[in-house]
Chains A and B, each alone.
Chain A
């Protein structure tokens, strides 16, 4: 089984230095792209590969890049931003890449920047990832020292600088327009779309924001071609995916596997099944902002389309397992506490709605809930749903809630009827 994204990641997670990375075939894609391909060729290869963004939304990467204005008179400068603000609860996949193979991200950024005509790149990293920051700084200096970054790379007309920006902790910075505001030194609130960042982004100039895992796929697509990339998957959603499992399983962790690996295989073979004494109850398949799936969904392939058909989302592909001894109401309360706290406050439904949802859940969790609270919660899943708020924060927050009300309704009702938490 090929694992292009994690091939260089050693068991001790110590990353390869630039010599080791180059010996392993690293920076070959930069040579290939800059010396033998036009930017349009790289764009075509990425589009043809079917690569979809790995940050959560799954938007086709080539299509995103194609929205950059091209040709004579197109605005300059242009920017490429690697979104390394991984703060979705339950998600820890980009950390593996950032700490374990920083040169792969840098190479992915060089090739991607070439395709979109960007001359400056930023890595937007959450401040808590200190080890990643240290390793990225070292790798950036090594790459610049070797001439992979800077003026006229490989003697071509293409120049690129990449800077590391460490943020200061706020979930909304992962939303691409809020990220751009943060990078400009403004309060990190989302911007209205359209215009999309590809047209009006950082400092009003064309900008692409891509997730770390997305960018790390690009060198491999350039080296091996679109058909190879499609062939890595078990389904028609191309590539491999870094999946993760956390919760009360025997071996929590992250693994690069073919896209379309089933939930059951991830849980039982890779995570080793549930810990002794615990039974599987449900799973958030792709981080905190995805809908619960339950036992009947265990054989679903974990890809964008299959999980969407089941009413949830692949999200970041890192699943959080609910066991039979943990209270689902308390779990959703924890999730909504996070979303209420991390609302940026820019739009009223999110700013006021999420704390109200959290209060309702706290009351039910404590045995002080009323049956009409369930109707209020249902109402909020609609009123804070897609299209009702400025960005996807509140709709994302409603996903675990709406599915918990569906799959674990008995638990909510028992809390109210018995006026206590039956799990304590």
Chain B
């Protein structure tokens, strides 16, 4: 069940649009921010609040790179795999993450600490390669910088 705080935050977003359902991406992000991911139950509750069919909300939820329909770790690492980062050595960054965590893209570490995902261009091509950790941008990476950055996330 959605908490009163979640409902209030969603209703605040609803007011910015001419139709309730337009706030659905905002609503999914509000719930995900608090719970880590969107479960089937959360999906039903949000759809009910926004008066839209559950299937249509699921079509939206499964469309976007940053909405998770499966549980993720405490921290989500998004590695840019697009062309400028690739040219500047993103494969070495991915290799380092695989070596450090023992997981591939799309997987979560056994201690549920990190989930590693690829992401299209982060718009940071002049400081490639780059990655996001919990939405925070880290650029000009090399494998040792990756270790340095990840130490900050317990």
Interface residues of A (CB under 8 A from B): 77, 86-92, 94-95, 126-131, 163, 165-171, 182-188, 203, 244-248, 252-254, 284, 288, 318, 320-323, 326, 331, 334-335, 337-338, 341-342, 344
Contact = CB atoms under 8 A, between A and B. Distances in A.
Most buried by B among A128, A318, A342: A128
Contacts of B81: 334, 337-338
B63 A334 contact: no
Contacts of B84: 89-90, 246-247, 320
B120 A87 contact: yes
Interface string B2-28: 000000000000001111011111101
Given A168-B67, A185-B60, A320-B83, A88 B29 contact: no
A77 B81 CA distance: 41
A338 B82 contact: yes
Given A187-B63, A321-B87, 13 more contacts: A87-B123, A89-B82, A90-B121, A90-B125, A91-B125, A128-B66, A128-B132, A170-B65, A183-B22, A187-B59, A187-B60, A252-B127, A331-B86
B128 interface: yes
B38 to A, nearest CB: 11
Contact of B135 (A86, A90, A128, A341): A128
B126 A244 contact: yes
B125 A163 contact: no
B83 A338 contact: yes
A247 B64 CA distance: 28
A203 B18 CA distance: 8
B122 interface: yes
Give the 6 A-B residue pairs with the shortest CB-CB distance, closest first.
A169-B65, A168-B64, A246-B125, A89-B82, A185-B21, A246-B84
B125 A341 contact: no
Contacts of B103: none
B123 A91 contact: yes
B19 A185 contact: yes
Nearest to A332: B83
Contacts of A253: 126
Contacts of A337: 81
A95 B132 CA distance: 16
A362 to B, nearest CB: 14
Nearest to A202: B18
Interface string B105-136: 00000000000000111111111100010011
A86 B125 CA distance: 12
Nearest to B52: A185
Given A203-B18, A247-B87, A334-B82, A252 B122 contact: no
Contacts of A163: 16-17
A253 B84 CA distance: 12
B83 A335 contact: yes
20 contacts: A87-B121, A89-B82, A90-B82, A90-B83, A92-B123, A168-B66, A169-B120, A170-B64, A246-B88, A247-B84, A247-B87, A252-B127, A254-B126, A318-B125, A320-B87, A320-B125, A331-B83, A338-B82, A338-B83, A344-B63
Contacts of B50: 185
Contacts of A91: 121, 123, 125
A422 B64 CA distance: 37
Most buried by B among A91, A170, A334: A334
B154 interface: no
Nearest to B15: A163
Nearest to A288: B83
A344 B22 CA distance: 19
Given A168-B67, A247-B84, A128 B122 contact: yes
A135 to B, nearest CB: 14
Contact of A334 (B60, B83, B124, B135): B83
Given A130-B136, A169-B119, A320-B83, A185 B65 contact: no
